[in-house]
Amino acid sequence: MKPHLQMKTAQSLAMTPHLLQSIRLLQLTSLELEQELRAALARNVMLEAVEDEEPEPEPAAVAQTDTDGFAPVSGADVGAIARVDADFDWSSRESWSGGEPVDEDGEPWEARIGQPRTTDARVAAIEQLRLMVLDPRQAQLTLTIVDAVDDNGYLRQPLEGIALESGLDPEPTPAEVEAALRLVQSVEPCGFAARDLRECLHLQLASRPADAPGLALARRIVDECLEAIAERDFDGLCARYGVDRVELHAALDLILSLDPKPGAACAADAEAVVPDLIVSGSVGAWKVELNAERLPRVRVNALYERALTVHAHRALREQLQEARWLVRGIEMRHDTLLRTARAIFERQTAFLERGETGMAPLTLREIAEAIGMHESTVCRVTSNKWVQTPWGVYELKAFFPSQIAMRQGDTSGTAVKAMIRRIVDGENPHSPLADGDIMAILARKGIHIARRTVAKYREAMNIPSAKERTPVVGPRRAGLRI
């Protein structure tokens, strides 16, 4: 065999830089879009901001109001958009799919768009373990342990159950499971996969320098009398360990600097939520519109555009083209967001009338078919986009709940959660309802779900169990709680 040249023609989908820019704009939140536009206005002289006090453009240059009475998409320069040479069929749902086309190396083009940092401690642990574990059997065992860790970073399942759930043949020995657990506990955040509070604190103390002030005493206190810290029995601690207040407080400062919930430390920081859309009106006359207060309004500077000639500097011509594409991308973002929201609330009118109990099951495919786009486009446009409704501010993704069968049609998981909360709110405070009782009440309403499903929904809403909701008779002893 010897190397030779061969020519062939083939058809393939390609994503232009302009399409990648439009997809990226579609994923931005309103606050991120504001920052993007400020940066664009600072670097591109062909762009200008549209001030609120400026007079409205001529009717021919304004986006027309829809026939159903909804507000126009925005007040951008439509004339500039019309002068852009479209090199792609923007109306096709395949054009907005984003996830299907790949490059020559087989890597999805969508990989060019940066992904946000993970906020799940379990995902972060798996990423670290991939670099540490090479044996397939040990990898499966560590993955089973990570899956059993709760949101606070604690391993609540016994190691015998971990061995059974791993599905390995032969079944892992206790020594194997212990070794895998120590490996999982060695990743960040420190204290991850601890089985109780004491083990969590010990793991964190083990990572401190050996000469840290009060380290030895802190280990003894965590081992023997952790409850005394909550009771603030400092004199008793000093007498027990034969130390003075200075030594005791050095140990206590070290203990209080530890994190009792290492898994929650990776959670995303709280962010200000600004509604992208507003739903208003009354029964039978609902109106969905973009939030005009947060609607970015930019346009191409008409004076500079007219002053450019064919012999203008190349950098200026490139800035003009970039400005036109940015204006067009914003227009398409607003139009896609508005059409998606309208399609959602046409199917969620019961929610607008009755709240979460009226939430109907809905899928991305239904909305994608309704607006003539790909499911991945609907997924992007509903992520981190918020809508103000008569019942509060919700993320658009919240209107795609799971489907639950009942005697008279189907309902959604969100509606069932609202029913459970209403049942718990109306229960006798001196005799709280157990999960089985709630399941029976729902069954009488025609909703048949398992008791463990009731427990899962209850925990998702941070509602304590019936035992924890039972009033305590007499004084309750203080203690550390996770």
CATH number at residue 433: 1.10.10.60
Count of Cβ atoms closer than 10 Å to residue 419 Cβ: 19
Predicted local confidence at residue 412, as pLDDT: 64
Contact 280, 287 (CB under 8 A): yes
- For 311, phi and psi rounded to 5 degrees? -95, 15
Predicted local confidence at residue 52, as pLDDT: 59
Contact 179, 193 (CB under 8 A): no
Predicted local confidence at residue 78, as pLDDT: 42
In a domain, 456, yes or no: yes
Give the span between the Cα atoms of 258 and 331, in whole angstroms: 49
Q: Tell me 335's DSSP state.
A: H
Name the nearest CA neighbour of 367 among 358, 359, 376. 376
Contact 337, 277 (CB under 8 A): yes
> Burial, 35: exposed, middle or buried (Cβ in 10 Å; 0-12, 13-18, 19+)?
exposed
In a domain, 436, yes or no: yes
Predicted local confidence at residue 411, as pLDDT: 64
Name the nearest CA neighbour of 34 among 332, 320, 318, 274. 274
Q: How many domains does the chain have?
A: 1
In a domain, 410, yes or no: yes
Give the span between the Cα atoms of 442 and 416, in whole angstroms: 8
* Helices 375-382 & 17-27 angle (0-180, nearest 10): 50
Name the nearest CA neighbour of 44 among 329, 302, 331, 323. 323
In a domain, 142, yes or no: no
Dmax (CA) for the chain in angstroms is 90
Residue 102, SS3 per DSSP: strand
Rounded CA Rg of the chain: 30
Pairing type for strands 410-412 and 403-405 reads antiparallel
In a domain, 180, yes or no: no
> Tens digit of pLDDT per residue, the chain (482 long)?
678 788 888 776 666 666 777 777 777 877 788 888 888 888 888 888 877 555 544 433 333 334 343 333 333 344 444 444 343 343 333 333 333 344 444 444 444 444 445 567 888 888 888 888 888 888 888 888 988 888 888 998 888 888 888 888 888 898 998 999 999 999 888 888 899 988 999 899 988 888 888 899 889 888 888 888 877 888 888 888 888 888 888 888 898 888 888 887 655 455 567 788 888 888 878 888 888 776 667 888 888 777 776 666 788 888 888 888 888 888 888 888 888 999 998 888 888 888 877 778 888 888 888 888 888 888 888 888 888 888 888 888 888 876 665 555 556 677 778 888 888 888 887 788 888 888 888 888 777 778 888 888 888 788 888 877 776 444 343 333 33
Ranges of beta strands (E only) in 45-145 are 47-49
In a domain, 441, yes or no: yes
Residue 150, SS3 per DSSP: coil
Straight-line distance from the first to the last Cα atom of the chain, in angstroms, rounded to the nearest whole number: 69
Give the span between the Cα atoms of 74 and 52, in whole angstroms: 13
Residue 179, SS3 per DSSP: helix
In a domain, 430, yes or no: yes
Domain ranges, residue 414: 403-469
Name the nearest CA neighbour of 197 among 165, 153, 235, 232. 153
Pairing type for strands 386-389 and 298-300 reads unpaired
In a domain, 370, yes or no: no
DSSP bridge pairs for 34: none
- Which residue carries 């009338």 as its tokens? 353
DSSP bridge pairs for 108: 102
Predicted local confidence at residue 119, as pLDDT: 60
* Helices 215-224 & 245-256 angle (0-180, nearest 10): 70
